[in-house]
Structure 1
Amino acid sequence: MVSGTHVREAVAHCVKTLSATPSSDWSAPAGSLEWTCWETLEHLADDLLTYALRFGLARPMEVPRVPLRISSERPDGPANVIFGDRAAGPGGLLTVVEACGGLLATAVDSAPPTTLAPHVFGASDPEGFAAMGVVETLVHTYDIAQGLRSDGVPPEDLSRRALGRLFPDVAVTDSASSTLLWATGRIETPGRPRRTDWRWYGEPLGRRPS
């Protein structure tokens, strides 16, 4: 089971992991991504917010995308609907992430559990979107921590919950955290080369692949 509580726990992990890093480091690439650490954190906030907005609609499946203006601050940067105030520094951007994560947590816990909302990998329910928020938060916290040369290994319990809900095709080996990072193309593990192509399965349990 994945709920808004776990979204909040993932965001708390993100804030704790990244809050002590000097502002000067945030222009570094985030791990293996082409985005900077700052851009990746903005992208995370954007993911959490746009997931939450889907459940603000009376009939989510009738709206493929909430029609907000999308823009990018540079050609190779992420395309977002929200951006952090640079003057507020990383601490301010982490506050944005915390707020967006709180909105998602409230939205998924308030929505009827059978509600479906669209996603590029297939329509999903509130639990699925909660799990997506957890995965986005854990893996992008790891990406940013790599760029900032700090430890961003995801918590075991959250990793195991996310894997169970979104990655039915992936067997947990070694630790749940390393398996999640492997499943999302971040690392290689013994006997499993690094993935260059991956996806999750957000469909409700009865519609998931066997």
Structure 2
Amino acid sequence: MTVIRSPQPVTPDDLDLALRLAVDTLRESSEVAAWERNAGSLEWTCWETAEHLADDLFAYAAQLGPRTPAPDREVPFSWERKRPGGPANAIGADRAAGPAGMLQVLEATGALLAAMARCTPPQVRAHHVFGVSDPEGFTAMGIVEILVHAHDLSEGLGLAWNPPADLCARVLARLFPDSPTDTDPWPTLLWSTGRAELPGRPRLTGWRWNGVPLAER
């Protein structure tokens, strides 16, 4: 089934849905040892990948927080790596809390982004390395992070993950408007983020989205 990718708004409700579906899926794996496996094709463990995801959601919310967001730099939190080659994060999850605690951290950081997206005026612009963006753009970025990292985590944890096609179509239209439109949205999102092949299209070795509002490109 191919879903038409019209540029319908991406909303905080979409973010809530993506987060709920991802957390419900990941909750099926409560074995601590499983979270030490690599997450799909990444060089990070599932635990590290989930921490990275939580950190992304927190960072996107934080970018919208200042009264006058900087258009040319991120909010200057302190970022640290727990090991060489691991993700650089400003926040982390207490390992003593186990996978259930990690999922609480994901829920909390996702809720922060959804709340900031709801209360920030649409004319606000803030920095992102993939283009100065608006609250809708940061919401779409958060959804993409959730969807594709839930894919990575599900591969590492041995879970099934297949998010809604219409949700994937909306974030593709917002962040990847030049992506193929003759293929199903979920495989196309995986292709657009360098995680899969499409018929006649090899897997990407480099990729980026465009966070700039569509009307300003």
- Relative to the length of structure 2, the TM-score reads 0.93
Partner residue of 1:13? 21
Question: 2: distance between equivalents of 1:148 and 1:173?
Answer: 31
Q: 2:183 pairs with 160, 174, 199, which one? A: 174
Superposition pairs for residues 124-135 of structure 1, below 5 Å?
124-135=133-144
Please, what is the CA RMSD of the aligned residues?
A: 1.1
Q: CA deviation at 1:108?
A: 0.9
SS in 2 for 1:103: helix
Do the aligned partners of 1:156 and 1:175 also contact (CA within 8 Å) in 2? yes
Q: 1:25 pairs with 20, 25, 34, which one? A: 34
Q: CA deviation at 1:173?
A: 3.1
Partner residue of 1:101? 110
Do the aligned partners of 1:142 and 1:154 also contact (CA within 8 Å) in 2? no
Is there any run of 5+ residues in structure 1 with no aligned partner, and where?
Answer: none
The higher relative CO (CA closer than 8 Å, separation ≥ 6) is in 2
Look up the equivalent residue of 1:78 and give its one-letter code: P
Look up the equivalent residue of 1:7 and give its one-letter code: L
SS in 1 for 2:206: coil
Question: 1: distance between equivalents of 2:86 and 2:22?
Answer: 21
Q: CA deviation at 1:24?
A: 1.6
Look up the equivalent residue of 1:191 and give its one-letter code: G
Look up the equivalent residue of 1:118 and give its one-letter code: H
Q: CA deviation at 1:62?
A: 5.4
Q: 1:186 pairs with 173, 195, 198, which one? A: 195
Q: 2:10 pairs with 2, 10, 14, which one? A: 2
User: Which contiguous aligned blocks of 4+ residues in structure 1 show a shift greater than 6 angstroms?
Assistant: none
Q: 1:79 pairs with 85, 88, 91, which one? A: 88
Look up the equivalent residue of 2:78 and give its one-letter code: R
Q: Does 1:207 align with 2:203?
A: no
Paired positions, count: 208
Look up the equivalent residue of 2:55 and give its one-letter code: D
Q: Percent identity?
A: 52
Look up the equivalent residue of 1:58 and give its one-letter code: R
Is there any run of 5+ residues in structure 2 with no aligned partner, and where?
Answer: 1-8
Q: CA deviation at 1:134?
A: 0.3
**Residues 62 and 179 (structure 1), Cα distance of their counterparts in 2 relative to 1, 3 Å cut:** closer
